[in-house]
Structure formats: C-alpha cells, structure tokens
Amino acid sequence: MRLLIALGGNAIKQAHERGTAEEQFRNCMVTTRLVAEIVRRMKPEDRLVITHGNGPQAGNLLVQQEMGKEKVPPQSMDVVGAMTQGQIGYMLQQTLTNYMKDMGISVPVCEVVNQVLVSKDDPEFFGEVASKPVGNFFTEEEAEELKREHPEYIVKKVKPVGERAWRRTVPSPAPIANVESEAIRRMVDAGIIVIASGGGGIPVILDEHGHYQGVEAVIDKDLAGEKLAEVVEANVFLVLTDVEKVNLDYGQPAERPIDRMTLAEARRYLEEGHFLPGSMGPKVEACIRFLEWGGEKAIITSLENIERALAGETGTWIVP
Ligand code: ADP
Ligand code: MG
C-alpha cells in the first residue's frame, strides 16, 4: 500500500477554537495517534505521505500581518503559506514521532516546504473571479474601508445573511505540478514519511525567464493533494474531513449517505451539484482525478473513522 492522507482543517484547529499553540498541539495529537496506528500496521514496503490544510492558521497569520504592520513589515501571502507549512509540519512531525517512539517504531518523518506551480493565465487571476475567501469576516462598512486601503484587494459578500458577511477573496488557481516532486519521490522511496503540499502548496508561477515566483493565491489542498498522490504513485487516496460519509442531496430532506460510488457515478453526482463548491466539491473532484490517473481507490471519511474506512467498514469509497 502506498497511502496518501489529506488532513482537513479540523485535524489541526477546531472551528470553535481560537488557535492557541496548545490547542493545535492537542488536535495534532488526536490526529497523529490514529496515524501512528496505521504506521504500526504497515508492511516494510508500504509507504505513507501526508498533506494538510492551513486555512485557519494562514487566516490568523494574515490578521497578524495586518495588525502588526506599523511595527513589522507584513509578509506576502506566499511567504505566509510557507510559514504555516513550517508550523503545521513541525506539530505533525513532533507528535507523530512521539507516538511512534512510544510504539518502538523508528521511521523518519519529514515536512517539506513545498511549492506548487500554477498558470499565470489561470482564469482565477482575472477580473473579480478570485473565489477563495481568506482571513477575517467584515461588515459592509469595514469591507469598504479595506477596499479603500487596498484597492488591489477583491472583497466579496460570502454569506447571504448576517452583518459580518464580507471577506477578502484571492485566486484559487488549478495546481499544475509539484515543484519539489523529485525530492519528495526520493524521500518516499527511501521509506521516509513525508508531509508535503501543506495548504495546497505555496503557489508559484513561471516568469518570463522560466524562474519560479510566488503569487498571492491559495490552491485547494485536496486538488493539490491529488497531484502529490500522482508524484508518489499512491494507490490509495484517503481524504479526512469532518463527515463520515459524503451525502447525496446534501442539506435537503432526501439527504442520504453514499457508501460506494464508481468513477462514472461520482462524475454524474458532481455534475448534478450534490457536492458544494469549495468544500466537498473539490474533494470528490480530486478523487475522480486520482482514479482517472490510475489510482485504485479513493476514500472520504472523518478522522476518527480512519481505520474502519481503510478496512472497508465505513466512509465513502470511490472506485474505478
Ligand atoms: P476540510 O477542512 O476537511 O477541507 P470542508 O469544510 O472544506 O473541510 O469540507 C467538508 C464539508 O463539506 C462538510 O463539513 C460539509 O459541510 C460540506 N459538504 C458539502 N457538500 C457535502 C456533501 N454532499 N456531503 C457531505 N458534506 C458536504
Ligand atoms: Mg476544505
């Protein structure tokens, strides 16, 4: 088994939490204790690669850039992405290693600060398309003020109701290639548990000299995770989020869970709009691409069901 696990935001920070270091370490421990159990049962030839979201951490760090800008120069969004990869990678690395030490397992774990190539011609970079909300919620007045201060920002109403319904949005371009793919592949082949493409990777474009350059954007972590799965030739793609199964007719009276769907069914349901854009949509899309590429199975489930889902007892399985 070559397993790629994509960890959702709640694996590191719960929605109701403020995001203190203690809280995040505690959540990472819940996650990595379960991951360590998977490692315990792996055969010597098995491989594990982990990717993770960074939404809440990058959001908090962006607020710090804004609030502290009179004293310390704010860093650009690509740099903030790199900082959160380091932060979350550190927490996962340390807690997973500690659990494995307790189990007498000595497999090296290593976070890779990881760039992902996007196209500067991606439609998300033009006009007001930018679809990924980041940072704080604002009132209409605050939103207008933010726009005056940063005319280059795109600020959108992202909730139909409520006073604080406005947010800055940034482009969410499609991932094209993982820049550190060769390094990652060699590490994985050598038996290292690699953590990579955190937060969807640091988005970079190629400039006119063919050089990489960071951009203000956020790549969807599930779509980037799928690219990583191809790089490491994973055969199982496991997406861990906050629901045990994917539902049809989500949020409607006829809502019902899916145990298993074929690639063709997944494509049809996606087209019919059963999976919301920006949340379940890209997860199912990533699973579809994984199977199209040649993956054996993709599973979407919640963290606590990781073992049962791998055993075929729960989760939504997507198969060719
Ligand atoms: P993560 O941080 O793990 O990426 P998201 O919030 O982006 O989590 O995506 C998971 C969420 O997707 C679920 O909590 C649920 O609210 C939402 N969702 C949208 N469509 C569906 C669906 N068809 N079935 C189940 N959940 C769905
Ligand atoms: Mg998400």
What's the pLDDT tens digit per position in 131-170?
998 888 899 999 999 999 999 999 999 888 888 999 999 9
- Which CATH number covers residue 40? 3.40.1160.10
Task: Name the CA dihedral angle for 147, 148, 152, 158, rounded to a multiple of 10 degrees.
Answer: 0
What pLDDT, on a 0 to 100 scale, did the predictor assign at position 135? 80
Tell me, yes or no, whether 153 lies in a domain.
no
pLDDT at 9 over 90: no
Q: Ligand 1, from 280, 283, 304, 318: best to mutate by most atoms within 8 Å of Cβ?
A: 280
Q: Whose CA is nearest to atom 18 of ligand 1?
A: 280
Give 291-307 pLDDT, tens digit per residue.
Answer: 999 999 999 999 999 99
On whether residue 136 sits in a domain, the answer given is no
| Pocket of ligand 1 contains residue 188 by CB under 6 Å | no
3-state secondary structure 254-312: CCEECCEEEHHHHHHHHHHCCCCCCCHHHHHHHHHHHHHHCCCEEEEEEHHHHHHHHCC
Q: How many CB atoms lie within 10 A of CB 127?
A: 8
Confidence of residue 51 (pLDDT cuts 50, 70, 90): very high
Spatial separation of the C-alpha atoms in residues 241 and 260, rounded to whole Å: 17
Residue 49 belongs to what H/E stretch?
strand 47-52
Over 80: is that where the pLDDT of 64 sits?
Answer: yes
Quick check: is 146 in a domain?
no
Distance 277 CA to ligand 2 centre (A): 10
Q: Is residue 170, in this structure, part of any structural domain at all?
A: no
Using most ligand atoms within 8 A of CB, pick from 31, 272, 279, 285 the residue to mutate for ligand 1: 279
Q: pLDDT confidence of 314, banded at 50, 70, 90?
A: very high
Within a domain: 120: no
**Residue 142 resides in a domain:** no
Count of domains observed in the chain: 1
Ligand 1 atom with minimal separation from the 248 CA: 23
Contact predicate 320/259, CB 8 Å: no
100 Cα–ligand 1 center, Å = 30
Residue with tokens 């360590």: 36
Q: What is the pLDDT of residues 248-264, one digit of tens each?
A: 999 899 999 999 999 99
Q: Structure tokens of 63?
A: 């607020």
Which range is most confident: 1-5, 17-21, 145-149? 1-5
Indicate the SS3 state at residue 180.
coil
How far apart are alpha carbons 282 and 292 in whole angstroms?
15
- Asked if residues 219 and 200 have their Cβ atoms less than 8 Å apart, the reply is yes
- Among all residues, which ones are annotated catalytic? 9-10, 132, 221, 283
> Is residue 155 one of the residues assigned to a domain?
no
- Considering every ligand atom shown, identify the ligand nearest to the alpha carbon of residue 300 and give its number: 1
- Structure tokens given for 85: 């990869």
pLDDT at 295: 98
* Beta-carbon count within 10 A of 159 CB: 12
Q: The domain containing residue 280 runs over which residues?
A: 2-115+175-319
Measured in Å, residue 190 CA sits from the centre of ligand 2 at 30
What is the per-residue pLDDT for 14?
80
Query: What are residue 156's DSSP bridge partners?
Result: 167
Looking at residue 86, the DSSP 8-state letter turns out to be H
Strand ordering across the sheet containing 109-111 = 109-111, 193-195, 47-52, 2-7, 236-241, 297-302, 316-319, 260-262
Residue 144 in any domain: the answer is no
- The tokens describing 148, both together, are 């005056």
